[in-house]
A and B are shown apart, each in its own frame.
Chain A
Amino acid sequence: MSRPTTRTALWTVLSFAGGFSAGAEAQTLDYDSLENLFGEPITTAATGTPQKAHASAANMTIITADEIRQSGSRNIPQILSRVPGLDILRSGAVAYDVGVRGYQEPMQSRLLVLLDGRQVFQDDYSRTVWENLPVNVDDIRQIEVVTGAASALFGSNASGGVVNIITYSPLYETSDKASVSYGSNRTRQGDVTASGRMEDLGGIKISAGGMNGQEFGARRSSSEQGVTQDPAHRYVAASQVFQLSSDLQAFSDFSYSKSRSTEAYFSGRLGGIDDFVSSARGGFTWQSALGTIKGNAYWNHSRVENNDSSPYFVAYADTTDLFVNQLEDAFRVGSDHTFRIFGEYRHIDFRLDAPQVAPQSPALAEDVYVLGGTWLWQIRDDVSWTNAARIERLGLQETGTIWSESVMPASAYDHSLATFSDNSGVVYTLTEQDTARLAYGRGVQMPRLLDYGFIATNWNTSGSGRLQERVGNPFLKPTIVRNYEIDFDHKMPAVFSTMRTAVFFEQNTSLINTMTNVGTVQTSVSNATRTAYSVNMGDSDGYGGEIQIKGQHPSGLRWDASYSYAIVEDSPSVKSALGVGYHDSTPKHHVRLLLGYSVGPWEFDGDGEFLSSDFTRRSAGTDFSTYTPGYSTLSARIGYSLNEHLTLSLSGTNLSQARTWASAFPSVERQALLTLSARY
């Protein structure tokens, strides 16, 4: 087993010794006061420094706490399904993958997800375990969604976009909420958040919750039935923020979460997966003579247990430890230039706990050094130009032992590579009502840890009796995503609405196909050893656009209508691990219509969606290769405030039919949820 390096330990100790931290802006920003003052949401997502949402150089959608409540959803992917450009692939009752502008597949890698500045995207499979997030949905202040490559701003794996989840800061806002829900599929859910503030000195917040339910009852093969398990989730999270002096804030947070689900792997096979994730973080924000200096250090520990047992593989587990240390300085030069420079050190240990036929005990370590910066130039009152760049150097190291006859010897893993990403965006405020945005991003999607270091040998028990060897491929190139985009926003005060439009063109090079079978070799263990590893398979282009009209009338009526169009063109060699090209797995058309009305203590909200056809594949012993015709869904919520503290709501999803055939995976069932919420 590898251990964090001395450098890792030193960085971490220094950061915590200060007591403090930061990805920090998210945690220490007084969003409420700033939004109240400037009359629009504030974000740090595009530049790392606070900006009014309309001035952001990235295509950004901000989902407010009111919109989250009105959605009636108790899970984040369903809330995200309202954002133009995002598509949801659902492979189980709580198993979601969120795709950005096409490239739909299980264990989606292209979307980086952050929770209060901490990465909750998991590097093992490069995925987000949405059902495992340690957050009370009622405690979310806003969700910022960036579509388009944003690696220079957020880091690798923000190749398709970013979801930045921000909860209420205990320093500035009290957040005392509780809710209990009961619904179909024997769903029982409860969440509670309690906070305490000491005037302006500090605040503390604790959240805890859990959920139990029943997996969808759709038809499954016998092998799938063996791995199907009912969903469950438990979590606890605590955060503290202190104002140590007028110039210095410090914070720390801790979380633990475990979840159980049945969901699709990247290959399209359903499996039962248990995730256990814990985290600790500290940081500071210091307003110094040199600018606003922030430090942020955190540790994510995740363990994944797969009960996936098939003739082709055995149950296994993997453990990932991620240490992140970030330091940045944001400062102004003159009245027109804002800079942010940052450095980052990441260390990852990845260990596979699988029965090995061959004598080996593999473990992989990654060391990543990052330098970068952003520059916001307010050229004129109505024109700003944002630039960002990030350079990374990644070093791999095999820290365990590898079978001497492996096709990829241990020395091959001592490998390094350098990458860079950049973003540039011009925002032109044409009139009080019109804003145009021209944006470019070069994003980097690093290979999964699985691609680099999933090293296992087992017997194929399906008949051949051959040894199967899966090896990492340290020579994989990262996928590069270049996004070109023109956006235009138009306020229509006469009809209380804002129209947002975007057209984009995206180039993907060096896409990765995970665990492709690459040949047979002779070894002393088996006459024929079948070997598989991940390869770079080719390129792909995407293009399309989005249009959204959203508004609210003083009478309480609100609306949100949008249409997304996406086309993906793959080079002939491109087929995802799912076994289909991205051209086929991308629904071209996505139409959404949301209507809501608030009157007195009542809130009524309805949501209709239509997605056009696509093609997915489910590997289940017997193939469920599926062309899914276009389908529509209806969701609704009725909320009633019993008094200033209590709200009762009834929400339902997939109301138009008992089962919705949305992909090759089990049909999505109609669900209803009764929720009692308290704010105290």
Chain B
Amino acid sequence: MGGLLWAALGGITPVSATDAFDLSVGLKTLPLLSQRIVGPVNMAIVFDPGSPESRADADAIKAAADGGAEVPGGERLVPMLVAADDLSRLKGARLLFLTQGARAGAFDAVALVAAANGILSMSADLACVRANKCVLGIVSRPTVEIYFSRPAAVASHIGFTPAFTMLAKPN
């Protein structure tokens, strides 16, 4: 399914690389899920194989994850790179981190698969959350801001604590 949708890829978004701090901010939202993830956190880092920027961003996120990124609560983080045209590999993932630089058509593919599998999706590319395709948009500098898409959350059966949804910015 993901592969079919991938055929409708759009343009390339300008990129500023996702770094370890962005990743750590994303991971810090996990304790605020209304149903917390218990056990290893399988995190899919989804990239656009046709975009060098996206690929580079994925490598940067993977390096940050392998470099000691911590999940609050001490759960083990298990990162895996997943190409956007091979989203069948997303099964088993609990968390999806979409790279920057992915073309807009990838958002639909990611949203469908995340919704079908109840996966929390997030990205530092705010276009994804603004399109209601990702649940969370991450801004870590100069101050932390989290953008929240309620429609995407509902579609993925993802809930957060009331306080978090009050503090997050609506998309």
Q: Which chain A residues have a beta carbon within 8 Å of chain B's beta carbons?
A: 25, 29-30, 33-34, 36-39, 42, 49-52, 172, 199-200, 246-247, 285, 287, 292, 330, 332, 334-335, 338, 432
Contacts and interface: CB of A to CB of B under 8 A. Distances in A.
Contacts of B67: none
Contact of A247 (B34, B166, B171): B34
B159 interface: yes
Given A30-B161, A199-B38, A37 B32 contact: yes
30 contacts: A29-B163, A30-B32, A30-B161, A30-B163, A33-B32, A34-B163, A34-B164, A34-B167, A37-B25, A37-B28, A37-B29, A37-B32, A37-B144, A37-B146, A38-B144, A39-B144, A42-B167, A50-B166, A51-B167, A52-B167, A199-B36, A199-B38, A246-B159, A247-B34, A287-B165, A292-B162, A332-B166, A332-B170, A432-B142, A432-B143
A338 B169 CA distance: 11
A600 to B, nearest CB: 23
B166 A36 contact: no
B169 A335 contact: yes
A30 B31 contact: yes
B141 to A, nearest CB: 10
A50 B165 CA distance: 10
Of the listed residues A36, A51, A330, the one surrounded by the most CB atoms of chain B closer than 10 A to its CB is A36
Contacts of A30: 31-32, 161, 163
Given A30-B31, A432-B142, A432-B143, A25 B72 contact: no
Contacts of B36: 199-200
Contacts of B72: 33, 36
B35 interface: yes
Nearest to A294: B162
Contacts of A29: 163
Interface residues of B, number: 25
Q: Name the 9 nearest CB pairs between A and B, nearest first.
A: A335-B170, A246-B34, A33-B31, A37-B28, A292-B162, A50-B163, A287-B162, A432-B142, A29-B163
Nearest to A292: B162
Interface in B111-143: 142-143
Nearest to A25: B163
A492 to B, nearest CB: 15
Of the listed residues B28, B161, B162, B170, the one surrounded by the most CB atoms of chain A closer than 10 A to its CB is B162
Contact of B35 (A37, A38, A200, A334): A200
Contacts of B144: 37-39
Contact of B32 (A34, A292, A330, A338): A34
Given A42-B163, A247-B34, A432-B142, A36 B169 contact: no
Nearest to B140: A39
Contacts of A246: 34-35, 159
Contact of B166 (A200, A292, A335): A292
B89 to A, nearest CB: 28
A36 B28 contact: yes
A49 B165 CA distance: 11
Contacts of A42: 163, 167
Given A30-B32, A200-B35, A246-B159, A330 B166 contact: yes
Contacts of B28: 33, 36-37
Given A30-B163, A36-B72, 17 more contacts: A30-B32, A33-B31, A33-B32, A34-B167, A36-B28, A37-B25, A37-B28, A38-B144, A42-B167, A246-B34, A246-B159, A247-B34, A285-B162, A332-B170, A335-B171, A338-B166, A432-B143
A51 B168 CA distance: 10
B171 to A, nearest CB: 8
A42 B146 CA distance: 14
Contacts of B25: 37
A147 B142 CA distance: 29
